[in-house]
């Protein structure tokens, strides 16, 4: 029934565009016959509205992957470099939170490990809304920052790395089978903010998937059961993402390309010194307003990547 409802909405949307286009063409004939400036203004406004709607629907066609319409779980991990990278990870967390707010998505912090001096070691955001995963999968990979370090007394330039993981929030999916005998579950007391209830009771959950070695944690919910459910959702999504990466690597091997997920293979660079620029190394799209990007203006980068995947016949599209 959910699939039927979704397909009905899609059909109704396209039929609505067809109807509006016919009405606009009729209006064009009237404007030409009667030489009415007011009709031409109305026609121009309608043509612009249809163009904007068609561009949006074009991206929905691009986002036709199995889980593209689902919510997303976005995790950020600071790279080597201590405080520098941990501060960069927190900047990325702010960037994606701002992007979610501007794009109409609900962003909830699921898990966070603070750095020793500043920033974060890791964090996981749950982003809810239509096509959250479809859009955010463009952000998977290593992000590099070049800047004058605010933590260096000599004001030297530093390069920092952070890894962004994005997986679909697969709440129920029979294809991702997790054997209860192949996981270890640890319960511990939550750290950081959360009130007396969180600090006194063992509500935080750590799950280790023995066959792959994947470890996920969740401590931001109020109850142990809620944290366990969220941790299982994150684990399910990461197992799915691992399978996608295998498919990508196999596809790249067949194409003659060598793919290695390493810290040297950054997908995007954010340069704040000696000049300002953000460049995506997959699409070569770049902008000079780095502050705007760090404030959440990511749509142009995401759209450039989605168009790029069409040309590359991305197997996970």
For residues 163 and 281, membership in a common domain is answered with: yes
Residue 162 in contact with residue 92, Cβ under 8 Å? yes
Query: What is the C-alpha to C-alpha distance for residues 312 and 317, in angstroms, rounded to an integer?
Result: 10
Model pLDDT, residue 174:
40
Confidence band (pLDDT; 50, 70, 90) for 43?
Answer: confident
Flag whether 317 is in a domain: no
| pLDDT 10s digits, 211-264 | 999 999 988 777 888 888 888 888 988 888 888 777 767 656 644 544 344 456
Query: What is the C-alpha to C-alpha distance for residues 148 and 122, in angstroms, rounded to an integer?
Result: 23
User: Beta strand pairing status for 141-148 and 266-271?
Assistant: parallel
Model pLDDT, residue 251:
52
Average pLDDT, the chain: 84
Flag whether 19 is in a domain: yes
Strands (E), 32-105: 72-78
Cα angle for residues 317, 207, 229 (degrees, 5° grid) = 70
* Per-residue burial over 100-119, b = 16 or more CB atoms within 10 Å of its CB, e = otherwise: beebebebeebbbbbbeeeb
Tracing tokens 């920092």 back to the chain, one arrives at 160
Q: For residue 25, give its domain range.
A: 2-62
For residues 77 and 167, membership in a common domain is answered with: yes
For residues 161 and 211, membership in a common domain is answered with: no
Model pLDDT, residue 77:
93
For residues 167 and 229, membership in a common domain is answered with: no
Flag whether 104 is in a domain: yes
More confident of the two residues 161 and 63:
161
The arithmetic mean of pLDDT across residues 68-73, rounded, is 90
More confident of the two residues 295 and 42:
295
More confident of the two residues 196 and 58:
58
Model pLDDT, residue 264:
64
For residues 95 and 157, membership in a common domain is answered with: yes
The arithmetic mean of pLDDT across residues 187-197, rounded, is 59
Q: What is the number of other CB atoms lying within 10 angstroms of the CB of residue 1?
A: 5
For residues 159 and 302, membership in a common domain is answered with: yes
Q: How many domains does the chain have?
A: 3
Flag whether 105 is in a domain: yes
For residues 287 and 184, membership in a common domain is answered with: no
> Does residue 168 have a pLDDT over 60?
yes
For residues 85 and 201, membership in a common domain is answered with: no
Phi then psi for residue 5, to 5 deg, are: -65, -40
Confidence band (pLDDT; 50, 70, 90) for 105?
Answer: very high
> Does residue 37 have a pLDDT over 90?
no
Confidence band (pLDDT; 50, 70, 90) for 35?
Answer: low
Model pLDDT, residue 95:
98
Q: In what order do the strands lie in the sheet with 277-280?
A: 106-114, 120-128, 72-78, 157-168, 141-148, 266-271, 277-280, 286-287
Phi then psi for residue 217, to 5 deg, are: -130, 155
Residue 188 in contact with residue 198, Cβ under 8 Å? no
For residues 121 and 94, membership in a common domain is answered with: yes
Confidence band (pLDDT; 50, 70, 90) for 171?
Answer: low
For residues 45 and 155, membership in a common domain is answered with: no
More confident of the two residues 313 and 35:
35
């Amino acid at each position: 029934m959910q699939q039927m409802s979704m397909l009905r909405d899609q059909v109704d949307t396209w039929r609505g565009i067809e109807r509006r286009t016919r009405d606009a063409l009729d209006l064009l004939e009237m404007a030409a016959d009667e030489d009415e400036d007011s009709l031409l203004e109305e026609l121009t406004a309608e043509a612009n509205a249809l163009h904007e709607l068609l561009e949006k629907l074009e991206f929905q066609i691009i986002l036709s992957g199995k889980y593209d319409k689902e919510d997303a779980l976005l995790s950020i991990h600071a790279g080597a470099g201590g405080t520098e990278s941990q501060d960069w990870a927190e900047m990325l967390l702010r960037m994606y939170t701002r992007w979610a707010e501007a794009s109409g998505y609900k962003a909830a912090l699921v898990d966070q490990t603070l750095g020793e001096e500043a920033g974060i070691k890791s964090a996981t955001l749950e982003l809810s809304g239509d096509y959250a995963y479809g859009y955010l999968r463009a952000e998977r990979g290593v992000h590099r920052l070049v800047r004058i370090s605010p933590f260096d007394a000599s004001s030297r330039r530093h390069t920092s790395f952070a890894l962004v993981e994005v997986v679909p929030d697969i709440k129920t999916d029979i294809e991702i089978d997790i054997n209860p005998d192949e996981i270890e579950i640890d319960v511990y007391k939550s750290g950081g903010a959360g009130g007396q209830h969180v600090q006194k009771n063992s509500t935080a959950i750590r799950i280790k998937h023995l066959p792959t070695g994947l470890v996920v944690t969740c401590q931001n919910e109020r109850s142990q059961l809620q944290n366990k459910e969220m941790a299982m959702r994150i684990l399910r999504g990461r197992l799915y993402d691992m399978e996608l990466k295998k498919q990508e690597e196999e596809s790249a091997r067949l194409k003659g390309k060598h793919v290695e997920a390493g810290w040297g293979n950054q997908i995007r660079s954010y340069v704040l010194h000696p000049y300002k620029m953000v460049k995506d190394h997959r699409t070569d799209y770049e902008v000079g307003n780095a502050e705007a990007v760090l404030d959440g203006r990511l749509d142009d980068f995401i759209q450039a990547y989605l168009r790029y995947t069409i040309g590359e016949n991305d197997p996970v599209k």
